[in-house]
């Protein structure tokens, strides 16, 4: 047990401080607030974001827009992606029919959806949400599909020998056994939904967090951009960790199986 490991939280704090100091030193060298924001700039903007009513209002409305788009896109993606993934895992014919498409759409870089969606819905909230949906849903679909398809034979065989019918097989064996993969799919889905919303908002620049960051950088208010970026980072870390926490709670048995291994 090394020294560094024992004091890892202290070491982490030190690296954070070191990072801020390096950032400060580098921005002092660059010495140009319109090409690199210094930590004090950023701090100043944090102050404005909290106490200046105008800036605060922009922040709150942007946050609302972005978060609703993320959650709505993600929810629709889950509602559509999970059943289709299930069907693909269950029925070979659905699998063979959809697999090339799902894989192909999954591989398309998110941003390629933006001009298409823009044609249909303009630079609107719906379009942003739809980009998030399109990106998240295939990731969810693929993970559900893989989980359902690869349910271990040692779980399925007893079910078959005890004469479980289709519903029982689904609800008592397949669903619980594929739950870990479904949860992984949902977690990857939400991070992809965040990506999608930010990309769409940066291009539409009609509002939302991506729009604020892009706009701020465009107007060379880099302190504001960095401050918003830090807030966005904290939000995505919170969402990610929440999903991890839910996964741990839902599939606690899986974790213990991995540990006893």
Partner 1 sequence: LSAESNRNTTTIPVEDEIEVTPAISSPSTFWRRKRDVSLINTIPGRIGIFLVSLAVFVVIWQILATTLNNTLTLASPSEVLSALGSLFAGNVPLAATGVGNIYDGILTTIELIAVGYAISLVGIPIGIVMGRWRAAESIIDPWINALYAIPMIALTPLFYPLTGASFSAAILVVFLISVFTIMINTYSAVKYTSNTLAEVAKTFNASESQFLTKVVLPASLPEIVAGMRLGLGRAVLGAIVAEVLVMFSSLGNEMFTFQMILDTPRSMAIVFVIALIGIIALQAPRLIERYAFKWKETERLQRGFKR
Choosing from 51, 153, 161, 165, the residue that interacts with partner 1 (CB under 8 A) is 153
Entry field: residues in the chain: 261
* Helix (H) or strand (E) segment spanning residue 106: helix 92-107
Choosing from 36, 63, 179, 206, the residue that interacts with partner 1 (CB under 8 A) is 36
Kindly state the number of chain residues that form the binding site for partner 1, as judged by CB under 8 A: 91
What CA–CA distance (Å, rounded) separates 233 from 26? Answer: 22
- What is the residue-wise DSSP string for 216-238? HHHTT-HHHHHHHHHHHHHHHHH
Task: Pick the stretch among 43-51, 56-64, 71-79, 84-92 that binds partner 1 (CB under 8 A).
Answer: 84-92
Choosing from 17, 50, 218, 249, the residue that interacts with partner 1 (CB under 8 A) is 218
Site for partner 1 in 162-181 (CB under 8 A): 169, 180-181
Q: Which is nearer to partner 1, 125 or 208 (CB)?
A: 208
Burial class (CB in 10 A: 0-12, 13-18, 19+), 23: middle
Each residue 242-261 as x (binds partner 1 by CB under 8 A) or -, in order, gives: --x--x------xx-xxx-x
Per the structure block, which two tokens stand in for 217?
């950088």
Does position 220 interact with partner 1 (CB under 8 A)? The reply is yes
- Please, what is the minimum distance in Å from the beta carbon of residue 60 to partner 1? 18
Q: Which of 13, 44, 38 is nearest to 24 (CA)?
A: 38
Give the side-chain half-sphere CA count within 13 A for 172.
13
Does position 143 interact with partner 1 (CB under 8 A)? The reply is yes
Does position 217 interact with partner 1 (CB under 8 A)? The reply is yes
Choosing from 4, 54, 162, 167, the residue that interacts with partner 1 (CB under 8 A) is 4
- Please, what is the minimum distance in Å from the beta carbon of residue 53 to partner 1? 25
- Please, what is the minimum distance in Å from the beta carbon of residue 124 to partner 1? 14
Does position 51 interact with partner 1 (CB under 8 A)? The reply is no
Determine the distance from the C-alpha atom of residue 45 to the mean position of all C-alpha atoms in its chain, rounded to a whole number.
26
Does position 103 interact with partner 1 (CB under 8 A)? The reply is yes
Does position 35 interact with partner 1 (CB under 8 A)? The reply is yes
Site for partner 1 in 193-212 (CB under 8 A): 194-195, 198-199, 202-203, 209-210
Within a 10 A sphere around the Cβ of 181, how many other Cβ atoms? 23
Contact 74, 132 (CB under 8 A): yes
What CA–CA distance (Å, rounded) separates 89 from 165? Answer: 17
Matching residue, tokens 């993600």: 74
Does position 131 interact with partner 1 (CB under 8 A)? The reply is no
Choosing from 52, 64, 96, 126, the residue that interacts with partner 1 (CB under 8 A) is 96
Q: Which is nearer to partner 1, 4 or 53 (CB)?
A: 4
Contact 172, 138 (CB under 8 A): no
């Amino acid at each position: 047990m090394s020294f560094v490991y024992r004091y890892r939280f202290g070491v982490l704090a030190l690296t954070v401080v070191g990072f801020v100091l390096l950032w400060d030193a580098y921005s002092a060298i660059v010495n140009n607030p319109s090409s690199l924001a210094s930590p004090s700039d950023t701090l100043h903007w944090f102050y404005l974001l909290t106490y200046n009513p105008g800036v605060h209002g922009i922040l709150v409305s942007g946050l609302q827009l972005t978060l609703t788009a993320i959650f709505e896109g993600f929810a629709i993606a889950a509602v559509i992606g999970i059943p289709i993934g299930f069907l693909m895992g269950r029925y070979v014919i659905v699998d063979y029919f959809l697999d090339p498409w799902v894989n192909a759409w999954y591989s398309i870089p998110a941003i390629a959806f933006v001009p298409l969606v823009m044609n249909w819905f303009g630079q609107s909230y719906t379009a942003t949400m739809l980009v998030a949906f399109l990106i998240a849903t295939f990731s969810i679909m693929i993970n559900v599909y893989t989980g359902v398809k690869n349910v271990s034979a040692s779980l399925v065989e007893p079910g078959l020998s005890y004469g479980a019918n289709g519903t029982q097989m689904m609800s008592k064996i397949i669903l619980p056994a594929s739950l870990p993969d479904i949860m992984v799919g949902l977690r990857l889905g939400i991070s992809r939904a965040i990506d999608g919303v930010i990309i769409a908002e940066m291009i539409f620049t009609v509002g939302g967090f991506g729009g604020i960051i892009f706009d701020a950088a465009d107007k060379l208010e880099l302190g504001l951009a960095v401050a918003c970026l830090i807030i966005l980072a904290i939000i995505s870390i919170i969402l990610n960790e929440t999903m991890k926490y839910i996964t741990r709670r839902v599939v606690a048995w899986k974790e213990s199986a991995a540990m006893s291994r």
